[in-house]
Chain A
Amino acid sequence: MGALPIAARQWEGFIARRFLLSLPRPLLNEEENMDALLGKITTIARSSETPESASGPVSLEVKFKAACLLPQRTKVPEWLKDQTLTLKREVPDPREAGEPGDTVLLSPVESERWLAPLTVTPTAAYGKLPDTLQIRLRWWKEEKLPEFTVHSNGRSQTGQFTKQGEEGVASIETAPFWGFEPTLPVMFEVTVDKMKAACTVLPEREPYARKLLLADGERYRMENGWYLVEVSGRTNGGAIVSLQEKGRGVDHFREPQNLIQTTAEHGGHIDRLFIGWGGGQDKMSETAVSSAGIRREGGATRLQLDGTIDEGQNLRTSVVYTLYDHLPLLLLERSFQLGKGKEPDKDKKDEKPKEPIDDMRPFRFDIRPSWKVERQGRWGSRILNAEGNRLSVTRPGQVGEHIGSGRGWKLTDGWAIIEHPGRREHTLYLFDAQAPPKPSTFMGERSITFEPNWPHVPVRPEEAAGFTLALTAGEICGAGKEGGWVASRTPLPEGGVRCAIIGRLRDAVTPATATITLGGETRSVPLQAMLLPGVGGAVFATATFGEGQMDQPFDVNVDQIARRQSL
């Protein structure tokens, strides 16, 4: 046992473990806050109700200063800077809580009153102005509560909170801000010092996209008759954090509550960029984007977000989400643009010679949507896709299992359905059938991902790379080697229910007919072809049941593509 350094073979193991880090990681995801406040303890003491001599759990009063937010260790909100906060903890062993100088980590629920102290109810309203806004201040730095100001329509009103326990509450009427019925959307913004909250009043029956200020930060919301889609611009170059089916009120991307998690970790959709083995993804995951345009055109609502991944490398990203008015269909176009790097100083004489390879960047990208996993042994969340002349049904058997294209798994026709049979929640992803990505999935304790990736491409300065995909989510699906489809339904404002089917079929099984049953009424509707830019061919059908109700039994069949059985 000499003092030798790590032996050669140990390094092999060491390198193998480092390689694991470059594999698609399970990162190490309802609208609640997912961030948690991490503070540094300034003082810690037994609370007065727990005498020193008492046995059993100890009640402690912990005073701390906010240091950062987990999991990303981002900076704390401005209103918490230099503030000493107080928390009570009950622990069997006081060492669990730590000592002055140590960290104290709060749960997301514990953190809420400090991370989002100012709230307005409602945060969003539809069709008409709410009569009143309820304003709540869950924490304030001083005993005396501050004034609040409400702005809307160029008018401001200042008011005082009433003390209710440790909180401040107030109610304000909306009518004085508006002397007429406004064209929607409109917003009421409430400010207290550096804190902001808002209520946005949205049009009831019109598709729109809008930046909203919600309890957990800014979000872009897009809505049509079928879906309510929310995109966070804070991280990942834009992340879909909610996709709600309005008909059933189901959020396909809901996240576990009161759990510290990264954006879309356990529910949501992110896009990722890897340069070379894996560099770049850390920066992409931290990339914030802002609106480069929201517009309505051609029967669709379009939201574009742009951001800079790496200023030094002049690496930027943009994403365009297009939500069609009349179909449950979202199109996503992602691009990564490599600009020209900074020119060297002309008088720098010792500049080394360069070759084209020096400026080339190997880009690989993927998507990582994730859903709450169903895991019941004999059945559970699974991925369906055509693979050559068979229907591939892929379901990891064990928590922690990653299945990738290294096992020869292929998306032959560029479609995949992520099926959750127990919940009747299914999502169809459509990609370019000519050059589909390579499929991959990971099952964690709480979630399952679908991580198709596009292999590396060489990118030169002033070039861009990226991908386009379309997705639809619904309650019934069908899949076979010849194609896959997902069906959904939504109530109509004038009464009745509209149903839609979207899928991709091989030529051999087209034209095809969808048979849709709602309650006792059955319709046969031919599937129509459509061309989605960047994605290619797809089929769709819609049917309106004028007397239909959402609580009636719903069934769909498509000719030769077997309907999947739900539980």
Chain B
Amino acid sequence: MNLFHPRTFSTDWEVMVIDKLERCVEEDKLLAFAGYLRRALDLPVQIDWHALEFAMGINTSFDQFWNRIRNVTDRASQIVREFNLDLVPAGAHPVEEMFFASHVHVGTIHDEAGGIQLENRMLKYAPAFAALAANSPAGQKRRGEFKSYRVKNQAWGCTQAGSVRDPRVVQATWGSDANAKLFGHPTLEVRIIDCASSRRLLAEMATFIAAFVHHLGSTDGDAWLTPEDYRDCMTNRWAAARYGLQATFVWNGAARPVAEVLDEMLDACRDELAALGVKRSDLGLVEQMLQKRTCQADYVIRLAERYPDPYLLASTMTKLMRHWNVFDEYLETAPTLEPVALPDEDAILAEHLAAIGEDTYFYATREAMYYPGPAADEIIERMVQRGVIRREVVENRGILLSRTG
């Protein structure tokens, strides 16, 4: 079995462009830079919300990909600097509303049904990649509760918790954490990845993700999840967004630090890494991150502690991130962080309770951890029974929940 042939991969890397009045450059002007780069590099460079989207074309090896990342970003830096602009790779802007991603495309796949089944299997693994990539702990003037506000907020609908899909009864869809995207490209796109601030990390991370997806595509696995399995996936997704590499996952029925899970995933795709021309030991940043349980968000959090004002933080991030390697350097001396315990049922209930104020429409609890209806409703029921919330059905407003204790 091999769903991917030939084995290819790429990224769409969304990078902000910021001027010397610290404004994010608008899309209509970014079109000119994207067009210039498309012509100069023959790569499908695009634009997104206040971002240049560096689509890195089709790659078959780590070296090719790593060289391309450097070439594209060097060329892009040069053209934008002619206009006194900086490229700023970050998962979120501390003041503005945008989130940014480094989507990873894994190809080449022509079997859509196989792709959808792989999508289902990726529900288990996507949160681990989210933990590794977490890099949006400060955005929209919020900070500190999540290492990836982007994943927590589903990137405003652009990386949504996926559903278990039966290829026989589905239509093409877009925007989930991992998506068979044959309607646009012969790839499975892993969208849950926050924008990398480090070029080298992006190269390592995308290669790892591609190799792991190639590995899954060459192995049989159960593509059908039970409701309990699905709930665990959503718990892991929440933990990844909240704690990054400090998260502990529910893994095959037991608690397991996500760094160990990723370690195991790296081992599992050793052959596929080799097929992309790289050894596990070449992925030095990823290895170091797993050892220290430190992700890019931890670097931003350290900065944010010294810059409580969102504008000052944004200004500082602009000057640092444009160097592409500040996280790499930070990692050298960063302390090793401890894993955070797996949320127990009380913690899960507390997270749902935190979503409730007064006259809160019940659906807000769905957004706490993205549990599906029956699981989320069961938690509402428990909260009512414990007397911590009151449930009221109001004509025209539906089910409203209010904190009582």
**A interface residues (Cβ-Cβ under 8 A, vs B):** 1-7, 9-10, 12-14, 16-18, 20-21, 25-26, 28, 36, 38, 40, 67-68, 70-71, 73, 93, 95-98, 101-105, 107, 258-260, 377-380, 382, 388, 390, 392-401, 403, 407-410, 444-445
Contact = CB atoms under 8 A, between A and B. Distances in A.
Interface string B364-385: 1000000000000000000000
B320 A96 contact: yes
Contacts of A68: 21
Contacts of B355: 397-398
A395 B395 CA distance: 19
* Chief secondary structure at chain B's binding surface: loop
Interface stretch (B120-128, B182-190, B193-201): B182-190
A6 B49 CA distance: 12
Contact of B187 (A1, A93, A390): A1
A105 B315 contact: yes
B185 A2 contact: yes
A13 B174 contact: yes
A352 B55 CA distance: 45
A398 B357 CA distance: 8
B316 A96 contact: yes
B356 interface: yes
A260 B405 contact: no
A113 to B, nearest CB: 17
Contact of B396 (A258, A379, A408): A408
Interface in B98-141: 98, 105, 107-108, 140-141
B170 interface: no
B43 A3 contact: yes
Interface in B50-92: 55, 57-58, 84
Contacts of B181: 7
Closest 9 pairs (CB-CB, A-B)? A9-B174, A395-B357, A397-B357, A7-B184, A3-B44, A408-B396, A395-B358, A105-B315, A408-B397
Contacts of B156: 13, 16-17, 20
Interface string B302-334: 000000111110011011100100100000000
A298 to B, nearest CB: 40
Given A1-B186, A68-B21, A260-B311, A407 B397 contact: yes
A554 B240 CA distance: 50
Given A3-B43, A9-B183, A73-B21, A105 B403 contact: no
Given A12-B174, A13-B174, A95-B326, A6 B10 contact: no
A401 B397 contact: no
B358 A70 contact: no
A318 to B, nearest CB: 31
Contacts of B271: none
A300 to B, nearest CB: 36
A392 B359 contact: yes
A260 B395 CA distance: 42
B267 interface: no
User: Which of B96, B186, B316 gathers most chain A CB within 10 Å?
Assistant: B316
Contacts, number: 172
Contact of A400 (B10, B38, B140, B358): B140
Interface string B26-48: 00000000000010000110101
Given A28-B95, A390-B394, A399-B142, 9 more contacts: A2-B185, A20-B156, A21-B97, A93-B326, A382-B357, A395-B357, A397-B357, A397-B364, A398-B357
User: Which of A12, A17, A25 gathers most chain B CB within 10 Å?
Assistant: A17
A1 B58 contact: yes
A40 to B, nearest CB: 6
B46 A67 contact: no
Contacts of A38: 21-22
Given A96-B320, A378-B403, A70 B22 contact: yes
26 contacts: A3-B38, A3-B44, A4-B44, A4-B184, A7-B183, A9-B174, A9-B183, A12-B174, A13-B158, A16-B157, A25-B97, A26-B141, A38-B22, A96-B320, A104-B315, A259-B308, A260-B310, A377-B354, A394-B358, A395-B360, A397-B403, A399-B142, A401-B364, A407-B398, A410-B396, A445-B143
Interface string B154-186: 001110000000000000111100000101111
A3 B34 CA distance: 13
A102 B319 contact: yes
A382 B360 CA distance: 12
Contacts of A96: 316, 319-320
B402 interface: yes
Contact of B309 (A259, A380, A399): A259
B20 interface: yes
B368 to A, nearest CB: 8
B97 A20 contact: yes
Given A1-B185, A107-B309, A382-B358, A101 B403 contact: no
Contacts of B359: 392-395, 403, 409
Contacts of A12: 174
